[in-house]
């Protein structure tokens, strides 16, 4: 049998691994900037460690953001449910203001959560900018 049924046969000498790609030395970034070598470890103190850091090198605001968002979600939800109940009671008493409460409750809830989220994200962005500036300052030879 001259031709095998599943394609050409092996070359003489058996299977050979593919050649390794050429290795190049790492090239410096333009302007002398090098990205950080690894993750930051200066903010690993935890909540209570950061709370009692008297040099203010570690911030607790970034650790409180999740809690503040959940707290605002709960408060806005309780307020919206309160407005819905007040609207239903007002409708039961024959007042048309109750319809306004029922319509506005979910809108106020949604807008309140959006504004809270935007504010908390702005706080996080300010702290991240601060950390990045600190990294740039620490990596720079100019002080």
DSSP codes, 10-21: PPTT---PPPPP
Q: What share of the chain is helix, strand, coil (3-state, %, to 5)?
A: 60, 0, 40
9-37 tens-digit pLDDT: 666 666 677 777 766 665 655 655 555 55
d(CA 61, CA 128): 11
pLDDT for 14 equals: 64
Does the pLDDT of residue 143 top 60, yes or no? no
The two structure tokens encoding residue 26: 């790492």
Residue boundaries of the structural domains of the chain: 63-135
pLDDT digits (tens, 9 = 90+) for 76-92: 999 999 999 999 999 99
Can you read off the two tokens belonging to residue 27? 């090239």
Q: Between 58 and 100, name the one with better pLDDT.
A: 100
Helix, strand, or coil (residue 66):
helix
């Amino acid at each position: 049998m001259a031709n095998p049924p599943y394609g050409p046969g092996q070359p003489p000498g058996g299977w050979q691994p593919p050649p390794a790609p050429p290795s190049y030395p790492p090239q410096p970034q333009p302007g002398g900037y090098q990205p950080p070598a690894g993750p930051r470890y200066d903010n690993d103190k935890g909540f209570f460690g950061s709370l009692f850091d008297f040099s203010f090198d570690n911030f607790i605001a970034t650790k409180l953001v999740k809690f503040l968002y959940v707290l605002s979600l709960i408060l806005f939800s309780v307020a919206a449910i309160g407005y819905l109940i007040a609207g239903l009671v007002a409708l039961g008493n024959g007042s048309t203001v109750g319809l306004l409460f029922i319509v506005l409750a979910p809108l106020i809830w949604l807008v309140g959560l959006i504004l809270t989220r935007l504010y908390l994200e702005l706080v996080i962005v300010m702290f991240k900018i601060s950390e990045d500036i600190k990294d740039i300052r620490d990596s720079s030879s100019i002080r």
